[in-house]
Structure 1
């Protein structure tokens, strides 16, 4: 066997189709691109994602960090460190915090966050608790009650 004998296997190589070279070539005149229009003209046509002037999908959807929550729950939040100033065995609700002046405005149901330390046993009634807030209240000898 010589280097001059090496050939590709029969049927593995096909000749390329020459389009737009007359009626007898099989793809004459419009070269399989149709009659008229942007996609039949020479050049690249349109870029990927182009929708004919309509606002394309990648610009219609919200940008960065996913979609916003449509009906987002808004809470009046307060940290456990603010509750430390209350006397022991006090029943803590949103209205009692407003009366005490700890909360200035009510923006929704009460949510207790876990920043700070708590040494006083309190009976806290709120719509939601973070895990750290719940553990700090219960470690101080208090109780957490979730309101519906």
Structure 2
């Protein structure tokens, strides 16, 4: 095979439509744009325009609220933790922290902490240090003989949050 012999598969490339080349071409005269008017001209973008009437997207009220200070937590179910213990990825004797969960591959990155959820069954006696935990998760861990401690993870300060002053 030589470089000058390489070509695309049959039908892989198409020539572009050449508009405005006479009536016999099928795309002559108005070049597929219809007749006259603003949209027949170049550079026109009037999406959502309703002829001067207030457009629908401006008539409807804005909805919802996005809290910029909300904690971005990883959610971990007890079933995932038990599976990691069974696979030998988590040490039963050590405290289960955010770092331990990252090391075990249960969560990808720490984010703002971990919320422990009570889906699944936990048989191993474990002690947890997490940001938050649901009531059902706490009950299940204590039923298995373990304990849950809530620790608030250090988060990056938001705008407007006063910084700790260094006093000399």
Give the TM-score, by structure 2 length.
0.48
Structure 1: 4+ residue segments shifted above 6 A: none
Q: Which segments of 5 or more consecutive residues in structure 1 lack a partner in the other structure?
A: 1-51
Structure 1 segment 1-148 matched on structure 2, within 5 A: 53=54, 55-56=58-59, 59-62=60-63, 67-71=64-68, 72-84=70-82, 85=85, 86-148=90-152
Q: CA deviation at 1:90?
A: 2.4
Report the aligned-residue RMSD.
Answer: 2.0
Note the C-alpha offset of 1:102. 2.1
Could you tell me which runs of 5 or more consecutive residues in structure 2 were left unpaired when the two chains were aligned: 1-52, 153-168
2-side partners of 1:53 and 1:131: how far apart?
Answer: 50
Secondary structure in 1 matching 2:102: helix
Higher Cα Rg, which structure: 1
* Cα distance in structure 2, aligned partners of 1:70 and 1:101: 29
Per-residue Cα deviation, 1:29-74 (whole angstroms, up to 9, x for no partner): xxxxxxxxxxxxxxxxxxxxxxx94944xx1321xxxx23322321
* C-alpha separation in 2, matches of 1:105 and 1:146: 19
TM-score by length of 1: 0.54
Change (3 A) 1:88 1:53: closer
1:147 and 1:120 map into 2 onto residues whose CA distance is 21
- Tell me the SS of whatever aligns to 1:90: coil
Cα distance change of structure 1 residues 70 and 139 upon mapping to structure 2, 3 Å threshold: same
What secondary structure does 1:138 align onto? helix
